[in-house]
Structure 1
Amino acid sequence: MSSNSIPDVRGRAKALDRDDPLSFTRSEFNIPTRAQIASTRLADPASELKTTASSDGDASSPCVYLCGNSLGLQPKRTPVRINQYLSTWATQGVQGHFKPLEESPLPTWVDADAKAAKLIAPIVGAEASEVAVMQTLTANIHLLMSAFYRPEINGRHKIILESKAFPSDHFAVETQIRHHGLSPETSMVTIKSPYSEDNVISTYDIMSVISTHAADTALILLPGIQYYTGQLLDIPTITGFAHKHGIFVIWDLAHAVGNVRLSLHDWDVDAAAWCTYKYLNGGPGCIGGMFVHSKNSLVTKEITDEKPEEGYRNRLAGWWGNDKKTRFVMANKFHPVGGAAGFQLSNPSILDITSLSASLEVFELAGGVPTLRKKSLQLTKFLEGLLNGMSEEDRKLFRIITPADPDQRGAQLSIALANNLLGTVMHELETRGVIVDERKPDVIRVAPAPLYNTFEDCVDFVEAFAAALQAGRDNAKSG
């Protein structure tokens, strides 16, 4: 994008923002100012940090936050709901578990997880009974594998995952294999594209590995969206192919939930897990979520004194997963409630659930994921067009590694930089009030989230990015 075309592009962005039917949702979020993100002092987020304007623009203006793929911004409803929770705790004590309060928008604490599950079910395309809001992402993956990875039963022992999976997924697979007395060297199979230098793996690549190892593969763990490249995998096709070979599939939806359309029940997905602090805006380290298809979570027998362990698939258990009719009887006889809730362990953090549910209210207000996805496709395409329209000199210093096909990506564009540029680019972007994240050795990830990002944010990013690349060239010359 040449300097002469910037006014035209900005004018087009402003027009798109004016015509955006979802523009009202931006006001639902606390957008940090440039001064706030530059400050090293704890400040009251409700008050603006007043500073004089600088050469980088008005320091009291909003920053350009394109990092919802790492940590979503705070909804303005979140502190309101949390204060209501704190008020309930302060004035009701233990009664908050069971006592409904007039004019309170919050459920009783004993029902908070069920209310959150009902809110998140449409976001993942599931029945409410198939969803549990619980634990954290990797803990939930371990819980699912403890129930569904059983190599001692049928001799199938291999687990397939991608070679560049997020480290936690690798660790979970390796330790689960060792937990069963097996070796990752013989029981872990990794998928790597033979053609892509960036390890963008095709559906064909995945199916080829499945076919090769089908006879002794028990389980597959794959990401809905690959965290590094931003590639969206073909979840229904891969799931269906695995099922034809009798293989159970778990999907890590950390980067997909709240980002792209999901139909986990209709796609016959076996199980899935996700975090809630990225596109779901639950807050740092917020509670995770789990999906277990209804066919895999049946409880076929009523609890009996003789054999309470019969009638359900064995799993690691805790009292919050126990049948609600007997949960507070305090008997040492575990018999799970049907559905994903039967995989719960301890009673969940109400603070976390309150924070998450505040954001899920905004998703409802926006019309759900289908409406958000429509805007997201437009935003990401617009950003991609701006990047591809940068000067030839700039284009020599980066390339977009996320697939160009909109159906193979979410909101994120991953940009691979030329050698030794990452540090300079990140510093220069931050100096100009632009927040993205990095993945070493040389990738920045840029994610315009449709709930709060604008088309003009994309223009601001590309302007700052061009200046950052120029700084990189200047450093190279002076060095």
Structure 2
Amino acid sequence: MPFQNTLEFAKKLDAEDKIHQYRDEFHFPKVNGKQVIYFTGNSLGLQPKRTREFVDEVMKDWEELAVEGHFHSEKPWWDYHERLAAPLAKVVGAKTAEVTVMNTLTVNLHLLMVSFYRPTSTRYKIICEEKAFPSDQYMFQSQVKFHGLNPDDAIVEIKKRNGENHWRTEDIVSKINEVGDELALVLIGGVNYYTGQVFDMESITRAGKSAGAFVGWDLAHAVGNVELKLHDWDADFAAWCSYKYMNSGPGNASGVFINERHLGKDDIPRFEGWWGTKKETRFLMKPEFEPMENADAWQISNVPVLSVAPYLASLEMFEEVGMPTLIEKRNKIVSYLEFVLHEIDKEVESTFEIITSEDRGCQLSVFLHGQGRPLFDYLMKNGVITDWREPNVIRLAPAPFYCSFEDMYRFGQILKAGILKK
């Protein structure tokens, strides 16, 4: 369909949008008395209106039942997290038994590396992408040091080619093959936080497994955004936060995937706690650990129910809509945003360079050549909530649940006005 950079055309696209009504399911901040144009769902998703009901239900049960809420509330707390496994499994392409919710993202990655980073004197190297999100970098370095190794020797960063803004799958596979028998773990962000590039997770997983390494994925920017088939790809593990495209609230609980071939084992290296032992015998207080036969075996403590309730509220919407429908709208709205950027670029004396590759999800990262921080500040003051990264990049992530095509058009007009204002 040929796009047009007009308000009438944007409204036509919204009228045709099968999930446009879900925009009304979210609370929007306001600037100058108007709903913002919200591009930072890749950092913190908007609050679903139904979230309060789920949290209030837990608060009411706590008020009226106190400790008995663990077993006698409508959604008993002791197995509250189990309600999230099936809908989450659909989002990440897993079996229900392979998914659980616990802790927060970096905590979970550390715990998973206990199981899946087992360096030996000959096989000890980790492959990751260059300039991974800082938390991942710190995690790699501390894990390697914990094992008495030198990060400079053990961590292998895949670099982009000179002059290019994205990684090439063939370069990653080539590096995996080059490291070969020294490779213990491949752990990469499924979607790069800075450029928005979606990695070829299937091909990279296959290459890592062929090299004899464990393969895991940090899906912070991928879950709820791109198609995932973790089980079919045969990844060993993955973890993700829930507060970006999953809209569960700031700093909220993390999801975990562990391939079924690692489940039901009592000899796998793992930090263990009470909540990972079998439900049937948990309250017998037995001295020996008997692992749950699903991913819950990695649970250490009981789940923070007040934190998980908003996640369940959001997953209810994912169940209603489904990832295929979300991805269909995502593709269309991101393409329209790209079109609008190019159209505005023709009208102003500036150059926009989209550094996100064609392998993308919701996010477009844009170099604003000839512009600086004042343009970002202008956008924010005029109701466009976006993200600034040095030296002059803005990240734009039109989440399909609540962003509209009219938002894309209006953003273009505000962007143009901010540039011409100079």
- Range into which the TM-score falls when normalised by the shorter chain: over 0.9
| Preserved CA contact (<8 Å) 1:375 1:450 | yes
Report the Cα offset of residue 86 of structure 1: 0.5
**What secondary structure does 1:399 align onto?**
strand
Report the Cα offset of residue 335 of structure 1: 2.2
Structure 1 runs, 4 residues or longer, greater than 4 Å off: none
Aligned to 2:328: 374
**What secondary structure does 2:230 align onto?**
coil
Aligned to 2:361: 410
Letter in 1 for 2:137: H
**What secondary structure does 2:226 align onto?**
coil
Aligned to 1:33: 30
**What secondary structure does 1:229 align onto?**
coil
Aligned to 1:266: 232
TM-score (norm 1): 0.85
| Preserved CA contact (<8 Å) 2:342 2:352 | no
Report the Cα offset of residue 196 of structure 1: 4.0
Aligned to 1:52: none
Aligned to 2:51: 78
**What secondary structure does 2:175 align onto?**
helix
| Preserved CA contact (<8 Å) 2:276 2:291 | yes
Report the Cα offset of residue 9 of structure 1: 1.7
Confirm whether residue 93 of structure 1 aligns to residue 93 of structure 2: no
Letter in 1 for 2:10: A
* Partner Cα separation in structure 1 for residue 194 and residue 324 of structure 2: 24
Aligned to 1:347: 302
Q: Which of the numbers 357, 362, 375 marks the counterpart of 2:312? A: 357
Q: Where do 1:56-67 residues align within 5 Å?
A: 59=33, 61-67=34-40
| Cα deviation 1:147-200 (Å, max 9, x = unaligned) | 111113x731100111110011111111110000111011111110224443x1
**What secondary structure does 2:198 align onto?**
coil
Q: Which of the numbers 123, 135, 160 marks the counterpart of 1:168? A: 135
Confirm whether residue 10 of structure 1 aligns to residue 24 of structure 2: no
Report the Cα offset of residue 461 of structure 1: 1.1
* Partner Cα separation in structure 2 for residue 276 and residue 469 of structure 1: 35
* Partner Cα separation in structure 1 for residue 136 and residue 372 of structure 2: 26
Report the Cα offset of residue 119 of structure 1: 2.2
| Cα deviation 1:369-404 (Å, max 9, x = unaligned) | 11100000000000001111224464733311001x
**Structure number with larger C-alpha Rg:** 1
Confirm whether residue 24 of structure 1 aligns to residue 35 of structure 2: no
**What secondary structure does 2:398 align onto?**
coil
**What secondary structure does 1:254 align onto?**
coil
| Cα deviation 1:70-102 (Å, max 9, x = unaligned) | 10000000111111110010000001100143x
**What secondary structure does 1:377 align onto?**
helix
Q: Where do 1:402-441 residues align within 5 Å?
A: 402-403=356-357, 405=358, 408-418=359-369, 421-441=371-391
Aligned to 1:466: 416
Aligned to 2:171: 205
* Partner Cα separation in structure 2 for residue 131 and residue 323 of structure 1: 16
Confirm whether residue 295 of structure 1 aligns to residue 300 of structure 2: no
* Partner Cα separation in structure 1 for residue 146 and residue 4 of structure 2: 60
**What secondary structure does 2:344 align onto?**
coil
- Are the structure 2 counterparts of residues 245 and 74 from structure 1 closer, same or farther at C-alpha, using a change threshold of 3 Å? same
**What secondary structure does 1:372 align onto?**
helix
* Partner Cα separation in structure 2 for residue 326 and residue 439 of structure 1: 51
TM-score (norm 2): 0.96
Q: Where do 1:80-159 residues align within 5 Å?
A: 80-101=53-74, 107-152=75-120, 155-159=122-126
Give unmatched runs, 5+ long, in structure 1.
Answer: 1-5, 36-58, 102-106, 300-310, 475-479
> Highest relative contact order (Cα 8 Å, sep 6+), 1 or 2?
2
- Are the structure 2 counterparts of residues 312 and 338 from structure 1 closer, same or farther at C-alpha, using a change threshold of 3 Å? farther
**What secondary structure does 1:145 align onto?**
helix
| Preserved CA contact (<8 Å) 1:151 1:218 | yes
CA-atom RMSD, angstroms? 1.6
Q: Which of the numbers 155, 162, 167 marks the counterpart of 1:188? A: 155
* Partner Cα separation in structure 1 for residue 264 and residue 412 of structure 2: 51
| Preserved CA contact (<8 Å) 2:65 2:73 | no
* Partner Cα separation in structure 2 for residue 21 and residue 137 of structure 1: 32
- Are the structure 2 counterparts of residues 186 and 26 from structure 1 closer, same or farther at C-alpha, using a change threshold of 3 Å? same
| Preserved CA contact (<8 Å) 2:216 2:236 | yes
**What secondary structure does 1:225 align onto?**
coil
- Percent identity among equivalent residues? 43
* Partner Cα separation in structure 1 for residue 167 and residue 5 of structure 2: 37
| Preserved CA contact (<8 Å) 2:341 2:352 | no
Of 109-118 and 68-77, deviating more is 109-118
Aligned to 2:270: 315
- Are the structure 2 counterparts of residues 422 and 93 from structure 1 closer, same or farther at C-alpha, using a change threshold of 3 Å? farther
| Cα deviation 1:219-255 (Å, max 9, x = unaligned) | 0110110000000011111101111111111100000
- Are the structure 2 counterparts of residues 389 and 88 from structure 1 closer, same or farther at C-alpha, using a change threshold of 3 Å? same
Report the Cα offset of residue 8 of structure 1: 5.6
Aligned to 1:54: none
| Preserved CA contact (<8 Å) 2:102 2:255 | yes
| Preserved CA contact (<8 Å) 1:67 1:437 | yes
